[in-house]
A and B are shown apart, each in its own frame.
Chain A
Amino acid sequence: MIRVFFLIGILLLFSCEDLTPSAPEENELLDGPMEGLTDAENGLFLAGDIAFNDEVFSAGTGLGPLFVATSCGSCHAGDGKGHPFTTLTRFGQTIPNTAPDLSIGGPQLQNRAIPGFEPEIIPAGNPSMQLTPPAVTGLGLLAALTDAQILTNADPADLDGNGISGVPNYITPPSYFVPLPLHQPVAGQYIGRFGKKAAAIDLLQQTVNAYNQDMGVTSTFEPLDTSSGLTTDPEVSDQTINEVVFYLRTLKAPIQRNPDDAQIINGNTVFNSIECGLCHTPEWTTSTSDIAALSNRTFYPYTDLLLHDMGPDLDDGVTEGGAETFEWKTPALWGLGLSPDSQGGQFFLMHDGRARSIEEAILMHGGEAENSRNLYQQLADSDKQDLIKFLESL
């Protein structure tokens, strides 16, 4: 008997680590801080992580009264792409460079309400667009690019004749926007980089809008309650918002899996040969940033952050900023293969989740991407498979 207790004691003392679940591979996870943060920055990251992933709003803590989701993490599980359960619907602006018609509600539909309130309904006859929440990893690197870098790929009039335009979405900044040296205004407007139509200039604007429009949570930045249109006391503090912005800035970039696999190497070659990379720009390098870990970093998001005509099938009749209704920002492809891990084991791709596989998504490309789609269709089956394997590795 004593030996049994002795054995248990040994187990307790020496085998604890072997008895607990092992960690997933780093490249299988989207969340986690980027390398090179200082201890103080890690602390800030952790505070933002808690606010983003753990803080759930209830009616008592500021939720709604009209809302779409109860927490940041509800839309971005594991910092990945969202699920149709939390798809956002926007309406009210059908003509570029005009203000949304707020007299009909919007610009975002709050389709849920706390008990006692009625959710918003889009007035009949108004078009709307549905937006699947994007992954939020690596955004700090994209935010650290300069406007000048983004403009190197812009070709609104397609002067090079390659069929690819690339249009920056110039956005009128909100009152709280503070320009950085990396920003390059044109007539008081700045290039939007975040959101499906690139309607948010920086991560502060994206975050503040998400609190306000997605969760119905007011702040000093956006003090208007979406239900009443009246100002309210802030329901989230400036500190929390700043911590969430820091978290988003310092989330690591997705790590490619099996980059040395022969199929994946060939898939990368195919990706470039059918000219996907003309819009899905693979490589970028940041300049100097106030966060050392973001400075002079080369990374691979596969986006040019510009708007492109995606054809009539992807024209939802609604827009934001200067984007046409048929124009969409090139989405980053990094983390694409991990999408099912945050979308309930399935793919919901394209801006509204209509594509249920990577191949479906490729085949839905129209407009400026029609040539690449046609080239894809002409590929040998093995090259198609390699391309998809490459995309899944990102």
Chain B
Amino acid sequence: MKNIFLILFVFLSAICSAQIDSTLLKQTPTDTILSKGLNMDAVYNRPFLQVGKLPVSVGGYIEADYQFIGEDGINEGTFRIPRMTLFVASSIHRKIKFLSEIELEEGGKEIVIEFAAVDFNFHPMLNLRGGVVMSPIGAFNQNHDGPKWEFVDRPIAMTEMLPATWSNVGFGLYGKQFNKDWAYGYEVYLTNGFDDSIINNSENRTFLPASKSNAERFEESSNGEPLFTGKLAIRNSNIGEIGFSYMGGIYNTHEEDGIILDKKRRLDVIALDFNSTLPWTNTYIVGEWAWVSVDVPETFSQQFGDKQKGGFIDIVQPLKKGNILDFENAVLNLSCRLEYVDWNVGTFNETGGNISDDLWAITPSFSFRPTAQTVIRFNYRVMQQQDILGNPPAKIGGIQFGISSYF
């Protein structure tokens, strides 16, 4: 896989460098935050570089940061490159599109196909998508590009409770309808699903992202049962967008070679997402909340919760727009993220007391966008995390400085 990727990368690099004449390079601009499209359009609402009249366009983004984080008096500073992502898109026909998103995480330690799908447009309300698709659970999973956010870290609830970025092989339909100020959209997919690792992992908690380490999910379902993901979204260009999504299916390997190993156990997730821009102050608000329900065997440990909940809200206030430091359309933002996750909602069988295993965080941010596609972020993160017993929380906090940009 790495070799294929490298060949592709070198090939594309060669094309780009050969066509360095800027008149031949057409960048598809995008306003990454204040898009009028639906959240589901995020996968295509990215800046691409088109080479002349070739039907292929390329793009990507990179993130790099420095973190100085302390936990209960033990401090650690580190430079990171959490991810670099490459997009390749192609218009095969005016009604057939292909797009792929390949992510190199942590300097190439992991190479992941996050999206690689062909879309067939039969009607605005009827599009067929097949390939590696990003499940439309919540909003962040499909709209996770670093340059779109004012914060160095991704929302914890969406990445460590929900498994963003969660993608899998499958097919589905989507459609959208625009009517004056209103837009409506739907998405439904059937894909391969999760596996036993969500309650059989070294995180010591029910952990949906554990299934991401199963690379075989792109070749074979762990149990032969499809995972359903569906979303309905509605947007008013003057008010904002709200989305309801659901993801569910059997997660465990209940049968192998015709031999019953366990009963079928379900995983169900409901998510609510929204975004809006307050007209008076131009304050942008985006958030998401999700509830997870997992059928954990009663005889297994309560260490692995059967219910989880969590989410985040970002409040982004532009302070200054215009020419800043000779960047013509720059924006200076003051933001704050509030987030909460409870990985184990419930009470102990032994005492009736609350099971904790939860976390909250507040992250004020100061960000500078010299262009819509690039952001320099300075965050101060305050976080407290309790163990399952509810003992005094680990106090975590520190500064984060990072850049993220489409290219």
Contact = CB atoms under 8 A, between A and B. Distances in A.
A77 B389 contact: yes
Interface string B382-399: 000001111110011111
Contacts of B324: 1
B366 A8 contact: yes
A351 to B, nearest CB: 16
Given A12-B401, A116-B261, A21 B71 contact: yes
Contact of B299 (A2, A61, A71, A119): A119
Interface string B162-185: 000000000000000000000000
Contact of B75 (A16, A77, A84): A16
12 contacts: A1-B325, A1-B332, A19-B398, A20-B73, A56-B202, A74-B204, A77-B389, A83-B389, A115-B200, A116-B262, A118-B299, A342-B389
Contact of B399 (A11, A67, A112): A11
A70 B303 contact: yes
A180 interface: no
A78 B378 CA distance: 33
Nearest to B351: A84
A115 B201 contact: no
Contacts of B392: 341, 345
Contacts of B378: 8, 12
A19 B397 contact: yes
A16 B399 contact: yes
Contacts of B77: 16
Contacts of A2: 325
Interface in A286-320: none
A59 interface: yes
Q: How large is the interface on B (under 10, 10 to 19, 20 to 34, 35 or more residues)?
A: 35 or more
Contact of A58 (B202, B332, B389): B202
A22 interface: yes
A17 B200 CA distance: 38
Interface in A58-116: 58-61, 67, 69-71, 74, 77-78, 83-85, 87, 112-116
A23 interface: yes
A270 B197 CA distance: 55
Interface in A36-57: 55-56
A92 to B, nearest CB: 21
A179 to B, nearest CB: 37
B200 A24 contact: no
B301 A71 contact: no
Interface string B215-255: 00000000000000000000000000000000000001000
A372 interface: no
B203 interface: yes
Contact of A21 (B201, B350, B353, B397): B397
B302 interface: yes
Contact of A85 (B196, B203, B348): B348
Contact of B398 (A16, A84, A117, A344): A16
Interface in B69-89: 69-75, 77
A23 B368 CA distance: 33
A212 interface: no
B339 to A, nearest CB: 18
Contacts of B401: 12
Given A1-B332, A21-B71, A23-B73, 14 more contacts: A2-B325, A16-B68, A17-B75, A56-B201, A56-B204, A58-B200, A74-B303, A85-B350, A113-B300, A114-B200, A115-B262, A115-B300, A341-B391, A345-B392
Contacts of B325: 1-2
Contacts of B197: 58
Contacts of B396: 21
A83 to B, nearest CB: 5
Q: How large is the interface on A (under 10, 10 to 19, 20 to 34, 35 or more residues)?
A: 35 or more
B380 interface: yes
Interface string A1-37: 1100100100110001101111110000000000000
A60 B299 contact: no
B297 interface: yes
B199 interface: yes
A184 to B, nearest CB: 39
Nearest to B70: A20
A343 B356 CA distance: 12
Given A77-B387, A84-B350, A85-B350, A20 B398 contact: yes
Nearest to A21: B395
B389 A85 contact: yes
A85 B389 CA distance: 8
Contact of A112 (B71, B261, B300, B368): B300
Contacts of A74: 204, 303
B73 A22 contact: yes
Interface string A115-138: 111110000000000000000000
A19 B200 contact: no
Nearest to A112: B301
Nearest to A25: B73
A84 B347 CA distance: 12
A117 B299 CA distance: 8
A7 to B, nearest CB: 10
A168 B263 CA distance: 50
A344 B353 contact: yes
A112 B299 CA distance: 5
Contact of A342 (B70, B74, B196, B391): B391
Contacts of B380: 19
B391 A344 contact: yes
Q: Which of A69, A70, A117: most chain B CB closer than 10 A?
A: A70
Nearest to B324: A1
Contacts of A24: 72-73
A71 B201 CA distance: 12
